[in-house]
Amino acid sequence: MENSVANRTDSEYLSTLERGLRVMRSFSAQRSEMTISQVAVETDLNPAVVRRCLNTLEQLGYIAKRDNLFSLTAEVLTFGTHYVESAHLETSVRPHLQRVRDVMGDSSSMALLSATNPSPLQRV
Protein backbone atom coordinates (compact mmCIF):
# COMPACT_ATOMS: atom_id res chain seq x y z
CA MET A 1 0.00 0.00 0.00
CA GLU A 2 2.95 2.31 -0.53
CA ASN A 3 1.08 4.31 -3.17
CA SER A 4 -1.83 4.87 -0.80
CA VAL A 5 0.35 6.66 1.73
CA ALA A 6 1.68 9.05 -0.92
CA ASN A 7 -1.76 9.60 -2.42
CA ARG A 8 -3.37 10.58 0.87
CA THR A 9 -2.02 14.09 0.38
CA ASP A 10 -3.82 14.30 -2.97
CA SER A 11 -7.12 16.18 -2.55
CA GLU A 12 -8.68 13.92 -5.22
CA TYR A 13 -7.77 10.71 -3.34
CA LEU A 14 -10.71 8.81 -1.82
CA SER A 15 -9.59 6.99 1.31
CA THR A 16 -13.07 5.47 1.60
CA LEU A 17 -12.63 3.76 -1.75
CA GLU A 18 -9.20 2.54 -0.67
CA ARG A 19 -10.72 1.02 2.47
CA GLY A 20 -13.44 -0.75 0.50
CA LEU A 21 -10.85 -2.21 -1.87
CA ARG A 22 -8.69 -3.28 1.09
CA VAL A 23 -11.70 -5.09 2.51
CA MET A 24 -12.35 -6.88 -0.79
CA ARG A 25 -8.67 -7.80 -1.20
CA SER A 26 -8.52 -9.27 2.30
CA PHE A 27 -10.43 -12.35 1.11
CA SER A 28 -8.41 -15.24 -0.31
CA ALA A 29 -8.47 -19.00 -0.72
CA GLN A 30 -7.29 -19.30 2.88
CA ARG A 31 -9.75 -16.65 4.07
CA SER A 32 -12.83 -17.18 1.92
CA GLU A 33 -15.24 -16.44 4.78
CA MET A 34 -14.53 -13.99 7.58
CA THR A 35 -16.25 -12.16 10.38
CA ILE A 36 -16.04 -8.39 10.75
CA SER A 37 -13.34 -8.84 13.39
CA GLN A 38 -11.26 -11.06 11.12
CA VAL A 39 -11.51 -8.60 8.23
CA ALA A 40 -10.54 -5.79 10.61
CA VAL A 41 -7.40 -7.69 11.61
CA GLU A 42 -6.50 -8.52 7.99
CA THR A 43 -6.99 -4.94 6.79
CA ASP A 44 -5.78 -3.12 9.91
CA LEU A 45 -9.01 -1.12 9.84
CA ASN A 46 -11.37 -0.21 12.65
CA PRO A 47 -14.21 -2.80 12.92
CA ALA A 48 -16.82 -0.03 12.51
CA VAL A 49 -15.20 0.99 9.22
CA VAL A 50 -15.07 -2.66 8.12
CA ARG A 51 -18.76 -3.11 9.01
CA ARG A 52 -19.75 -0.11 6.88
CA CYS A 53 -17.56 -1.28 3.97
CA LEU A 54 -18.98 -4.80 4.13
CA ASN A 55 -22.54 -3.48 4.36
CA THR A 56 -22.02 -1.26 1.30
CA LEU A 57 -20.29 -4.02 -0.67
CA GLU A 58 -23.10 -6.42 0.26
CA GLN A 59 -25.73 -3.97 -0.98
CA LEU A 60 -23.77 -3.60 -4.23
CA GLY A 61 -23.64 -7.38 -4.66
CA TYR A 62 -19.88 -7.90 -4.19
CA ILE A 63 -20.15 -9.47 -0.73
CA ALA A 64 -22.49 -12.13 0.62
CA LYS A 65 -23.38 -12.56 4.30
CA ARG A 66 -24.29 -15.83 5.97
CA ASP A 67 -24.89 -15.52 9.70
CA ASN A 68 -21.83 -13.52 10.86
CA LEU A 69 -19.61 -14.63 7.98
CA PHE A 70 -18.88 -12.57 4.90
CA SER A 71 -17.55 -13.80 1.55
CA LEU A 72 -16.97 -12.46 -1.93
CA THR A 73 -19.57 -13.09 -4.62
CA ALA A 74 -18.97 -13.86 -8.28
CA GLU A 75 -19.84 -10.22 -9.00
CA VAL A 76 -16.22 -9.29 -8.19
CA LEU A 77 -15.23 -11.07 -11.41
CA THR A 78 -16.81 -8.24 -13.39
CA PHE A 79 -13.79 -6.06 -12.55
CA GLY A 80 -11.48 -8.48 -14.33
CA THR A 81 -13.90 -9.01 -17.18
CA HIS A 82 -14.17 -5.28 -17.79
CA TYR A 83 -10.38 -4.97 -17.82
CA VAL A 84 -9.93 -7.83 -20.30
CA GLU A 85 -12.65 -6.43 -22.56
CA SER A 86 -11.29 -2.88 -22.46
CA ALA A 87 -7.72 -4.05 -23.19
CA HIS A 88 -8.92 -5.67 -26.46
CA LEU A 89 -6.83 -8.76 -25.75
CA GLU A 90 -8.91 -10.90 -28.06
CA THR A 91 -7.73 -8.96 -31.10
CA SER A 92 -4.26 -7.84 -29.96
CA VAL A 93 -2.87 -10.87 -28.09
CA ARG A 94 -4.75 -13.91 -29.34
CA PRO A 95 -3.07 -14.04 -32.80
CA HIS A 96 0.38 -14.08 -31.15
CA LEU A 97 -0.64 -16.78 -28.70
CA GLN A 98 -2.06 -18.86 -31.57
CA ARG A 99 1.25 -18.55 -33.44
CA VAL A 100 3.20 -19.71 -30.37
CA ARG A 101 0.76 -22.59 -29.94
CA ASP A 102 1.14 -23.62 -33.59
CA VAL A 103 4.95 -23.47 -33.48
CA MET A 104 5.30 -25.22 -30.10
CA GLY A 105 2.47 -27.69 -30.59
CA ASP A 106 1.12 -26.96 -27.13
CA SER A 107 -1.28 -24.49 -25.52
CA SER A 108 -0.14 -20.92 -24.97
CA SER A 109 -1.20 -18.49 -22.25
CA MET A 110 -0.77 -14.89 -21.24
CA ALA A 111 -0.92 -13.64 -17.67
CA LEU A 112 -0.71 -10.21 -16.11
CA LEU A 113 1.70 -9.98 -13.21
CA SER A 114 0.16 -7.77 -10.56
CA ALA A 115 1.64 -6.72 -7.24
CA THR A 116 0.49 -9.93 -5.57
CA ASN A 117 0.25 -12.71 -8.15
CA PRO A 118 -0.20 -13.53 -11.84
CA SER A 119 -3.69 -13.30 -13.30
CA PRO A 120 -4.38 -15.41 -16.41
CA LEU A 121 -5.85 -13.33 -19.23
CA GLN A 122 -5.82 -15.40 -22.42
CA ARG A 123 -5.26 -19.05 -23.29
CA VAL A 124 -5.28 -20.77 -26.67
At 42-89, the pLDDT tens digits run: 999 999 999 999 999 999 999 999 999 999 999 998 888 887 788 787
Sketch the domain layout of the chain as residue ranges.
2-73, 87-123
Determine the Cα–Cα distance for residues 124 and 109; give it in Å rounded to an integer: 6
Q: Give the up-direction half-sphere exposure of residue 23: CA atoms within 13 A in the CB hemisphere.
A: 30
Q: Is the pTM of this model over 0.85?
A: no
- Percentage of the chain modeled with pLDDT above 70: 90
> Which pLDDT value is given to residue 3?
47
Q: List, in sequence order, every beta strand (DSSP E) within the chain.
A: 63-66, 69-72, 109-113, 118-123
Considering the four listed CATH numbers 2.30.40.10, 3.30.590.10, 3.40.50.620, 1.10.10.10, the one that applies to the domain covering 2-73 is 1.10.10.10
List the beta bridge partners of residue 65. 70
Band the pLDDT of 33: cuts 50, 70, 90.
Answer: very high
